[in-house]
Structure 1
Amino acid sequence: MPRVEKLLPLLEVGASIGVGIGVAALVLFAFGYNPGECLAAIFDPHYLVSNAGFILSNAAPLICTAIAFAIPALAGLFNIGSEGQMYLGAITSLVVSYLTGNPFLGIASGMIAGAGLASLIAFLRLWLNINEVVTSIMLNWTLYFVVLYIVTQVIPSPQAGYRSVSIPPSARIGSIYGVPGVLLIAVGAAIVANYIVFRTRLGYTIRVSGFSPKTATYAGMNPRTASLYSMLLAGAFAGLGGALIVQGIVYYITDTMSSLYGVGFTGIGVALLARNMPIAIPLSAFFISWVSLGSTRLELLFGAPSELSQVVTGAILIALAAPYAFRLIVHYIRSWRLVKAHG
């Protein structure tokens, strides 16, 4: 039985993938497309190999924003503010990289900016009891328009008014033996996050506090401090994701925010697919990046509207993440009721 229990998460993921593909097939059929041909185009291994660099690069920021959701989730918080934290990290990294030409300062500034925003959300939640979901949603959109204003009004490109200035080559993150540097940094971040969560006292406190704040208090731990540190770490990783986008993928931000928008939200699904295990997040991010790119072929090969590719990707992502997300929500509701019942 213990061996079977250890295999259950893998079996659940496998079943979720099957359900996700099935749901995607139904969506495609409902829109009048051949599910077999479309799914074959999405998961074409030759297309995967020929676009490996692009897929791996796009997986890097997803890894970071997924970590930014996973760590607070283990502490009992829903950090859907990773989108805004990533925005702030991206614009801060862009400005610092542009002014200094130093890639390390760009990355560090992006992480600090993201952590600063996350600390504000944590303060409002832990000391003023303002729900982090509400503040995160409000700050996400606030940061969206702040970044948009900076891009178009403060640092527009003299050559192209629809985007910001580009960071200099000296501040860009290149490749190492053909492997995108942003991917190496993101995987390294996942390893560090996994070590913090499962090999340090802080990580143990975060996990115990998330499982049962009352138990953590009886054991001499401080759940409030654990939650604060989990959000600081989350903001730093989300800010890192934004820095990787502008320093290693696009080098500027457009007035449509196309390179940034949705990366934080998609990271939530990536984290849930990985069951909030930092070490499993890179594989989850790679899979979602592959599906996202493959779905764009529907427009090229079959003339499908671009929105359909997003629907297919979303259907697969929801089906993959739903089982774990449901258990997570039920656990949080039960914990909240237990805390309320005992004062």
Structure 2
Amino acid sequence: MTLRKALLAATVLALPVAAQAQPVSGLYIGAGGGLNIHQDSNNNGVRTKFDDIGAVGLASIGWGFGNGLRAELEGSYRTNDIRSITAPGVRGTSGYLRNYGAMVNVLYDFNLGLPVIPYLGVGAGYGWVDVDKANFTGPGGSRYRIEDTDGRFAYQGIAGAAFALPVPGLALTAEYRFYGTLEPSLNVDRTSTFGAPGGNYKPTNYNHSALIGVRYAFNAPVAPPPVVTAPPVAPAPTVARTYLVFFDWDRADLTDRARQIISEAAGAARSVQSTRIEVAGHADRSGTPQYNQRLSQRRADAVAAELVRQGVSRNEIMVTAFGESRPLVPTADGVREPQNRRVEIVLR
């Protein structure tokens, strides 16, 4: 597997769980693991080849300053199989090369308002290179082994992205890291009774790593509860306003007092923007029902005409006549009750 394929796989695995990410603020811890490619070494005619894929793991503790900047301490482990070490007269090599690192990293998160926060970082520290069971045969059949550890200055570059998970403070990370050290100097021991004495093995130490990890920030803000929108309050129903216009016995013409009441009703209709104006005519029981029906109609028409004269649109007025069927004051037939000789104006 190539490094390009490893990075693509790491990105694809991380995408489905992406959510809204936020820059880190305060204390956090992290851990990750993945694939490590140790770059083949060629130093002073000694070529070292490694298997394509090894393993890498790391853990970190750090502090986010809330403005995108982070600082952290990191411990890491990398291992790769040695496929071969070739030099004039050397053959039959195998073994393992391991890297242990203690690093101080500085990183910066780029908050782009996306569901993912990319970041870049650099690190410096100390790394130990350990070669184990590297056996090979030299000229004349002499046998040698490299089993030694050496520490050197270490450095690295980091490029990654964080994807928020549903748990507050928890994020999934996908990273590429380049990790290297200054050339270690490892002892070569002769294991046979003959041959040239051992010497030093100085491989270059460059590593390319693709990692998937998790990070937990302790001071992550808890998402606020969803805002519950209250249903709109229905407007209070408009209270109907009623005006009473009274008439003389057996008359449908308007008195001065009647015109004053109609004027007040017209003004109220304009100010409250009534949607309907009901004008209902009535009569007392002193005449026949047929006559009283016609009389109440004339009274209602007279009031409606005065409302129109006062500026009310005729289309807003609904005129009805009830004759003697709806008395305000119940009476016997033939009684001339003044309060029943009326027109009711109702504003709705």
Q: TM-score range by the shorter chain?
A: under 0.3
Larger Rg: 2
Q: TM-score, normalised by structure 1?
A: 0.18
Instruction: Tell me which of the two structures has the higher relative contact order, counting C-alpha pairs closer than 8 angstroms and 6 or more residues apart.
Output: 1
Higher helix share: 1
Q: TM-score, normalised by structure 2?
A: 0.18
Higher strand share: 2
